[in-house]
Amino acid sequence: MNAYVILCVDHDPIIIEKLTHDLAPFRDVFDLCSADNPDDANALLDECQHQGQQVAMLICHNQPGDDSGINMLVNIDNHPASIGARTLLLSDAPQYDAILQAVNEGRLNYCMHKPWRRDELQRVAEKELTTYVLRYCQHDLLRYAEALDHRALLDAQVEREINQFQSQLFSPSSSDTRAIADKVIQGLYAFFEGNDESKACRTYSPHHVLTKENQPNAFLWFIAEGEVGLYKTDDDGQEHHVSTLKAGSLIGSMSFVTGEVSFSTARTLTRTQVIKIDHELFAKIMRSRSELLPLFIQHLLLHFNQRLKRSIGTEIQLQQTLASLDAANQQLVEKEKMALLGQLVAGVAHELNNPVSAILRNSDALGDALQAVAQAPLAPDSLEQALTLLQTNREATPLSTAQARAYTQALTDQVTDRHLARDLVGMGLYQADEVSQWQQQLGDAFTPTVEIWRQYARCGRLLRSNHVCAQRIADLVKSLRTYARQDTEQRQRTQLLEGIEDTLTLFEHRLKPHQLDKRYHPLPEIVAQPYALAQVWTNLIANALDAMPEPGTLTVQTDLVDNDEASYIQVAISDTGVGMTPEQQEKIFALNYTTKREGHFGLGIGLTVCQQIIQQHGGDIRVSSVQQHGTTMTVTLPVSLSPATRKEPQL
């Protein structure tokens, strides 16, 4: 049984049979019901209401001299099961008075004379049902995509999900910790309602231990009601109460995210209701209730921020109390690492802005490209090539600016059109013999076919860009432990050019007013931390763009340098911006120092972290700048790690 019904009313069984036959393409997602007259139709409406179904479309016949059909159309909104239904009037001959009556009442969407063409009925039904679904269906629009206007439904679904994600992640109430916690807990209870096989929703009596200090913890605990005390043990084995957490708080978040042992012992102080979730269950929840993900990110970040504030408060108290003791001073030096974590947490929302904005822009561009693709039919061979180009651009290895220029020049002589040659190179079709083969095969249709291929290739590039952006967002929580804990991201075989190109993708919109010059030298793979290096490229490129208030040139150059002792990779990112004074260059890697102009966000920690990441890879980062002429940031990384840097770094 489907949620929505198409109701056909006509006294002629042959007409009903033809309607049923012509409406067959919609039967997978709409139930088809029929009645001989309006009285029987009203009985069907009562049955639909009883079964929880809604009539999405009413097709009704009206006989001359009998206004029962028109009256049913006019009064369709009076029945709860047919409010808002789209209406189609069938008539054997023009009935202007009846049509005018229905139009005046505002309840006639289309009039069709018998006999009708099958394609006319299907076209009208698709349009009217799409209108109804877009207006009244609040969930799962894509369920109707195959039967109805898939383009309109896809656009609406994408817009809904983006708006929902934006409103949840960047809502004005994001600072209200309790409100966000309540939404997360309510969402979890809704997920487990009637299906709590894992017994995640639990109630504990006082003095029940949830986590134990220095012991492994594989669970995340949401406090729904009650109070939980946190306890720490000193060097003498004496346990001290350090904090009381109430409803809306998280227990075990850091150990759950990082895999480290618990920081403290958590024990219930009162009768307490909790939701206990392990990693497998957490992944299952987020897959089935994706709307909880942005809320959970907010909840987790605010929780970390509160924990940081408590840590800083404790540090200040220790400094005041133990200022005269050398041991306390040494302890405070170690605690300073937490201050960096606090600043990074404060900037997480800003770090999300680039990929989220890119996804929004790409979705609009992808919609235009898909519309162009859908409206441009291709022959089988050309379609196969188009699909190949789409897949190739989803997995493409980028060409340098010089390579692209050389291929374009070579093809220009062959196709006698520089713009056409540039399009061919841009979509990855730059082998002269292959282009020549298609020219011969397509003849005069070559140029228009290339334009269609370009849209397929554009779809591939946009899909790749969205994947990169979504992966960057998904890795955000994981990246927090890079700053907070010592068990940082494991090193792996890494291709630097891919990471640089993916980062440039995030800045496509900001790069539009500027010229991008890519001078790529082929590079070997190195053993590195790709997510950490991605942060380096992001900071350097963002800084370069901020430094160019007027259209300029961003140059990204890679080189492989060999000497007698070792081989090194150099990545230079240059801008033609405002540049820096010698005094500014001396301070640029200092914590909390920023040269950003008013209106540009800057915490003054980006280059400090970049320097740490590069040094932990056994490399270095240098600045070269001339005022009003621009700046070059050069990163040097060894191809092979030295013994001193093979050990996993500690931030």
Please tell me the predicted confidence (pLDDT) of residue 560. 93
User: Are 538 and 354 contacting, i.e. CB atoms less than 8 angstroms apart?
Assistant: yes
Contacts of residue 568, Cβ cutoff 8 Å, sequence gap at least 6? 560, 561, 562, 619, 636, 637, 638, 639
357-363: average pLDDT: 86
Question: What is the average pLDDT value for the chain, to the nearest integer?
Answer: 81
Q: Residue-wise over 438-457: b if at least 16 C-beta within 10 A, else e?
A: beeebeeebeebbebbbbbb
Please tell me the predicted confidence (pLDDT) of residue 650. 39
Cis peptide before 115 (omega within 30 of 0): yes
**Percentage of residues in the chain having pLDDT higher than 70:** 81
> 3-class secondary structure for 187-209?
HHHHHHCCCCCCCCEEEECCCCE
User: Are 546 and 596 contacting, i.e. CB atoms less than 8 angstroms apart?
Assistant: yes
Phi, psi of 605 (to 5 degrees): -120, -10
Sheet holding 110-113, edge to edge: 30-35, 4-9, 54-61, 86-91, 110-113
Please tell me the predicted confidence (pLDDT) of residue 103. 66
**Chain CA centroid to CA 350, Å:** 15
318-345: average pLDDT: 48
From the number of C-beta atoms within 10 Å of its C-beta (0-12, 13-18, 19+), residue 106 rates as exposed
Please tell me the predicted confidence (pLDDT) of residue 343. 43
Distance CA 277, CA 185 (A): 12
Categorize the per-residue pLDDT at 8 as very low, low, confident or very high, splitting at 50, 70 and 90: very high
Which residue, 115, 110, 125, 132, is CA-closest to 23?
125
Alpha-carbon Rg of the chain, whole angstroms? 32
Phi, psi of 3 (to 5 degrees): -70, -30
- 212 SS3 class: coil
- pLDDT tens, position by position, 21-57: 999 999 999 999 999 888 889 999 999 999 999 999 9
**Number of residues assigned to the chain:** 651
Phi, psi of 93 (to 5 degrees): -150, 160
Give the ranges where 521-645 is alpha helix by DSSP (H): 530-546, 582-587, 606-616
User: Are 425 and 404 contacting, i.e. CB atoms less than 8 angstroms apart?
Assistant: yes
- pLDDT tens, position by position, 151-174: 888 888 877 777 665 555 444 444
Categorize the per-residue pLDDT at 619 as very low, low, confident or very high, splitting at 50, 70 and 90: very high
C-beta atoms surrounding 36 within 10 Å: 14
Distance CA 74, CA 450 (A): 52
- pLDDT tens, position by position, 423-475: 888 888 888 888 888 888 888 888 888 888 888 888 888 888 888 888 877 76
Judged by phi (left if over 0) then psi (alpha if -120 to 50, else beta), residue 579 lies in left
| Residues linked to residue 243 through DSSP beta bridges, in sequence order | 230
Distance CA 195, CA 190 (A): 10
- pLDDT tens, position by position, 186-206: 888 888 887 888 888 999 999
| Residues linked to residue 231 through DSSP beta bridges, in sequence order | 241, 265
Which residue, 608, 607, 618, is CA-closest to 527?
618
Distance CA 256, CA 245 (A): 17
Instruction: Kindly write down the DSSP assignment for every residue of 14-30, as one continuous string.
Output: HHHHHHHHHTGGGTTTE
